[in-house]
Structure formats: C-alpha cells, structure tokens
Amino acid sequence: MGSTLVGHFTLFLISWLVIITKVQSDNKAFVDVWKQACAYSGRGVVLIPKGTYYASSMVFNGPCKGQTLFSIKGILKAPIDKKAWVGLESWISFRYIVHLEISGGGSFDGQGSYAWPYNDCQTNPHCIQLPTSIGLEFVNQSLMKDIKLINSKSFNMKVFGCQDTTFENIKIRAPATSPNTDGIHIGSSTGIKIFSSNIATGDDCVSIGPGTDNLLVSGLTCGPGHGVSIGSLGKYPNEADVTNLVIQNCNISGTSNGVRIKTWAPSPPSNVYNVTFENIGMNNVDNPIIIDQQYCPFETKKCGNGASSQVQIRKVKFNNIYGTSKDKVAVELKCSPSKPCVELSLKNINLNFPGGATSSCSNAHGTATGHEQPPACIN
C-alpha cells in the first residue's frame, strides 16, 4: 500500500482502489485520481468516503480502459460564489465513457439557494445559464444507482447522447419554489431506463427532449413539481423525433401536471409517436392528463397569436390513469389545428374532482374504451 499527498487530498492507492480522504476544492487532485482509475484495464474505483467535501466544476472524461466506479458515500457540495458557476453548463460532467457506475448512497449538493435568485427565466428569455448538477454526455451501457441529488442550481441531471444506461433508486430533492430544477432531463438518447426513483423538485420530475427513443420509466414517485413531461418540443429547427416511450407504475402527487406533452406554437415540424402512459396514480394533481400544443411560457412576447404547432402527435396511449384532480378539467387534449393529434387511446380513466371532473378536447382524434371518468371527448 502506498500513499501520496496531492494538494489538500490524501490519496491511498490499494490495487487501483483510489480513496479520497480529504477534499477542499482541489479539483485537480479529483481529476488526477479519476485519470488513474480510468486508465486501469480492470475495475478502477474512485471512492469518496463519508464526510463533507467541496469541489468546483469538474469534467471526468473517457474513454476508460475498463469498468470505472465513481463511489460517493459522503456529501459533495458545489460552490456558492457566483464567479465559480455563472455560465457553466454543468457542475460535474461525465463524458465519453462506457461501463461507468455511479453509486454509493452519498449526496451531490448543488447549494442552489445561492443561485436561484438569479433565475428570471420565466420572464426573461435571455436569462443567465445556471449549471446542471450532473451532466452525462455519451455515457453508454452504464448504471447510476443509490445516490441523492439535493438543491441543484438548475436541472439536477441531464442525459445527452447516451445509450443503454440505467438509473435506479435515485432520490432528488429541491423546494417546490425552486426554478428550473428538473429532476432527470433526457435528450438525443436511446435505451434509457429509470426505475424506483423518488423526485421532488420545482419543475418536471422527468423531462423528455428531442431525439429520445426507447425510454422506460417505471416505479417513479413524483411530487412536488411539474410531473412527467415530453417536451417542450418544436422550439428549434430539425429536432429529432421522440419515439417508443413507456411511463408506467408511477405515483404523482401535488404537482402542477401529471403526464404531459407540450409543443411550441409556432414550431418547425417533428414527430412524437408510440408513447404509453399506464398504471399511474394521481393525487391532487392540477392537470392529470394534458397535451398542450400551444405551449408558450413567455406568452405573446415570443409566440405568435393564433400560431400553429407543426409537431405531429400520434399513437399515444393513456391506460389506467386514476386518482384525484385539483382542477375540474382533469383531461385536456389541446392539439394543433394544422397537425391534429391522431390515434390517441384512452382506456380506463378514473379521475375524480368534487362535483365531477370534465374533459376538454380540440383537434384530438382517437378512441376511448373501458371506464371513462371524466367522460372522454376525443373524436
């Protein structure tokens, strides 16, 4: 066994098991340790033991020679000084890695309360960028499990360009009032699976962007937040289609939306198809089932009056959606007049509101079978 002192780190190297025992914002040592583990042809392990540690922005690059484990058992805290994070895309990035595992039961604390006052994106389309806590880019055949993300400055996690990567028992926490703190955002990725996770934030628990294909979300507990959202789509030209999604066996509570598809109007053309929402319980949710093809968070400042979305939505199933709605309109299908939703399917919908829930539909075509409460309004 050998030991070396690097900056404020004490590193213990035990057959390529690298243990970081003391961290005080020495990012170079963190990255150096990663490089050693990544260069090992066996199973390289970077271990952050129990305790509280601090680190500024870090990028962990591959490819690695073998499997690499990033094991966090302590609490890793992000910087609070604005100069250390303004304009950054991510606090911690993992890039171009195959067979990565991030686990250990520890926490990534974004210390977002120091940054949220700078977020005016609801009224300012040119607002400053706040960093995501964890960014995964081109990370394939990998696993993230048994970790916690707390109070991210912006999105908690972004998944981009990834394939066949699984997230299991992820716990994400941020106040309901925290802005743009999406739990897990997925884009341009295929074969992503999210199992048995608990997400409570100020925005979408899971948000699904352009280019997402073959996604499974199962066993999610969501709330507070904005529910599970596909979109927003159609903001930029040449967006890739969103296809083959299954969101199932979830519980959504106290959110502003339940399951949602949202597209900008006007928008360039793209497609959403082969989507299934099934076996999902709603508890006091504002909009349990909603398609909104007139999405425009900046109202008329950015969107054209009477403009029409060119995103085609088809083959979307809502099966066995049940529980309570906070709004009388429990099912709202507001589709595009120039690209109506087609081949929608509602089966066994049971959403209750005092005095009776209702449905609202425009340009929505498909079938409704089984028990329908509220009564279906699709053509």
Burial annotation 301-317 (CB, 10 A radius, 16+ → b, else e): eebeeeebbbbbbbbbb
> Quick one: pLDDT at residue 125?
72
Backbone φ, ψ for residue 113 (5° rounding): -60, -20
pLDDT means over runs of 10, the chain (379 residues): 30 39 60 90 89 91 95 93 90 98 98 93 79 98 98 98 98 97 98 98 98 98 98 96 98 98 95 98 98 78 73 98 98 97 98 97 97 94
Joined together, the tokens standing for residue 262 give 């949202």
CB 169 within 8 A of CB 130: no
CB 236 within 8 A of CB 268: yes
Catalytic residue among 126, 185, 226, 365: 226
> Quick one: pLDDT at residue 5?
28
Instruction: Report the run of H or E that residue 334 belongs to, with start and end.
Output: strand 329-334
CB 330 within 8 A of CB 374: yes
Confirm whether 126 is a catalytic residue.
no
Q: Measuring CA to CA, which residue among 348, 350, 351, 352 is closest to residue 370?
A: 348
Measured over the CA atoms of residue 293, residue 298, residue 299 and residue 302, the dihedral's sign is negative
Half-sphere exposure of 258 (CA within 13 A, CB side): 32
> Quick one: pLDDT at residue 254?
98
- The residue written with tokens 């289609």 in the block is 241
Q: How far is Cα 201 from Cα 303, in angstroms, rounded to an integer? A: 27
Strand residues in 90-181 grouped as ranges (E): 90-98, 100-103, 107-109, 132-140, 143-150, 157-160, 166-173
Q: Is 18 helix (H, G, I), strand (E, B) or coil?
A: strand
Joined together, the tokens standing for residue 269 give 């053309």
Q: Is 119 helix (H, G, I), strand (E, B) or coil?
A: coil
Q: How far is Cα 7 from Cα 29, in angstroms, rounded to an integer? A: 7
Q: How far is Cα 67 from Cα 46, in angstroms, rounded to an integer? A: 11
Joined together, the tokens standing for residue 283 give 């508890």
CB 267 within 8 A of CB 235: yes
Backbone φ, ψ for residue 82 (5° rounding): -55, -35
CB 324 within 8 A of CB 284: yes
- The residue written with tokens 């398609």 in the block is 291
CB 215 within 8 A of CB 208: yes
Question: What secondary structure does DSSP assign to 251-287, as a single string?
Answer: EEES-S-SEEEEEESS---EEEEEEEEEEEEEEEES-
Half-sphere exposure of 145 (CA within 13 A, CB side): 11
Q: Measuring CA to CA, which residue among 350, 253, 273 is closest to residue 313?
A: 273
List the chain domain ranges.
Answer: 95-115+131-369
Residue 273 pairs in a beta bridge with 243, 314
CATH code matching the domain that covers 95-115+131-369, chosen among 2.160.20.10, 2.40.50.100, 1.20.1530.20, 1.20.120.1200: 2.160.20.10
Q: Measuring CA to CA, which residue among 76, 83, 39, 84 is closest to residue 61?
A: 39
CB 204 within 8 A of CB 226: yes
